[in-house]
Amino acid sequence: MITVIGTGTGAAPSGDVLAGAELVVGGRRHLDAARLPDGAERVVLGPLAPALDTIGEYVAKDRPVVVLASGDPGFFGIVRVLAERFGPELLDVRPGVSSVAAAFARVGLPWDDAVVVSAHGRRLRTAVNVCRARAKTAVLTGPGAGPAELGAALAGWDRVLVVASGLGSADERVERVTPAEAAARDWGTAVNVVLCLDEARALGPLRTVAGPGERPAGWALDEAEFAHRDSMITKFEVRALALARLGPRLGDLVWDVGAGSGSVAVECARLGAAVVAVEKAPDGVERIRANAAAHGVDVRVVHGAAPAALEELADDPDAVFVGGGGRELPAIVAACARRARRAVVVAMAALDRVPAARQALTSAGFSCDGVLLQSSRLAPLPGEVSRLAATNPVFLLWGVREPLDREGVAQ
């Protein structure tokens, strides 16, 4: 049997749970804080494989093993690895209070509506994009993915970071800082977790489903759901296919270039992505912000004309929607294609621009496809009858790269 003990936020395990253990495995600080049985072998966790091999030797001889871990070892912890290697039936897990639960407790906030993402041993971009998209996120940090790096990546986003270090110890610190303040400091190695909060929305409504919540009940919303100018909005039929090709999801970054009313940007944000909308018209900028607020999502709006405005966007997007551009369209598509990790979708009313846009995508290594969308909607006539009213045809072109996994590696 393998007894896995979560030490909570700094608490040492009691002697009775260690009694009889012939092998005790854990981090150096856990082992130093525990009263180990006389004669027990101790293994300091470093590389995981040798420790698992040693545990396997003891398990094979039915000799008792204790593994010490931080917090709740079933929450982004060692329980997963042990269960995969030895089977869950051999585990006796005794969890402590996780650092996430402790950090939220310290600031007096519930966390059933928080999204928890690990950046420990993983690339930071997924955690950053979740922080951009959600009002309440807990980030488990690691080397090269700590408060400073997170703060630098959140420049321009309205967030507050709560940095919890040394939880449960005499050196415990819980500090509330801006992203810029976080980026300017050396935080050392004692950080447990960083909470990223949009304070205006941090105390959300009562939830039934914990975590990121359910996907929206519908998408490709009616144009009436958005403020727009003179019907200058991507129609819902076009938006439906564009969303399918963009594939926005939690952890992604999407650009909406030539955003207009921001209908595509808002829908991508509703589906969980972090979104940057680029719009050159001042009234359009305000309209996008109003539409985002009306739908309860966070969209960062950049006022400027593409392609030049794209140069100030530091992070490469997973997907891009291009809904405007005029004569500059080929140059805009080319600029987006150079940086998009997964897909670029372009909506065009002028068919003359299709060849140049397609060339821009294929030249950047995308495989290309497209369709001319023509639809007719039911419109009422006198006498309680209906006719078909045609909408303007739109050509939708999309380019797709070879799929990447969440770490940016080609699949």
- Each residue's pLDDT expressed in tens, for the chain with a length of 411 residues: 899 998 866 566 666 778 888 999 988 888 887 888 888 898 888 888 999 999 999 999 999 999 998 889 999 889 999 999 999 999 999 998 999 999 999 999 999 999 999 998 888 999 999 999 999 999 999 888 999 999 999 998 999 999 999 888 888 999 999 999 999 999 998 898 999 999 988 888 888 888 876 678 889 999 999 999 887 889 999 999 999 999 999 999 999 999 999 999 999 999 999 999 999 999 999 999 999 999 999 999 999 999 999 999 999 999 999 997 688 999 999 999 999 999 999 999 888 899 999 999 999 999 999 999 998 889 999 988 999 988 889 999 999 997 655 555 544
Give the pLDDT confidence score for residue 84 in this predicted structure.
Answer: 95
Instruction: Read off φ and ψ for residue 388, nearest 5 degrees.
Output: -100, 120
User: Which residues lie closer than 8 Å to 126 by C-beta, 6 or more apart?
Assistant: 117, 119, 251, 406
Gap between the Cα atoms of 77 and 6, Å rounded: 10
How many separate helices (H) and strands (E) can be counted in the chain? 13, 19
Given this model, what pLDDT does residue 411 score? 46
CB 373 within 8 A of CB 350: no
Per-residue pLDDT at 168: 83
Please check whether residue 196 is in contact with residue 214, taking contact to mean a CB–CB distance below 8 angstroms.
no
Q: Which two tokens stand for residue 17?
A: 């749970």
**pTM for the whole structure:** 0.87
pLDDT at 113: 92
Query: Residue 233 region, left (φ>0) first, then alpha (ψ -120 to 50), else beta?
Result: beta
Q: Are strands 136-140 and 173-177 parallel, antiparallel or unpaired?
A: unpaired
Domain ranges of the chain: 2-97, 100-201, 223-400
Instruction: Give the fold, CATH level 3, of 2-97.
Output: Cobalt-precorrin-4 Transmethylase; domain 1 (3.40.1010)
Superfamily of domain 100-201: Tetrapyrrole methylase, C-terminal domain (3.30.950.10)
CATH homologous superfamily of domain 223-400?
A: Vaccinia Virus protein VP39 (3.40.50.150)
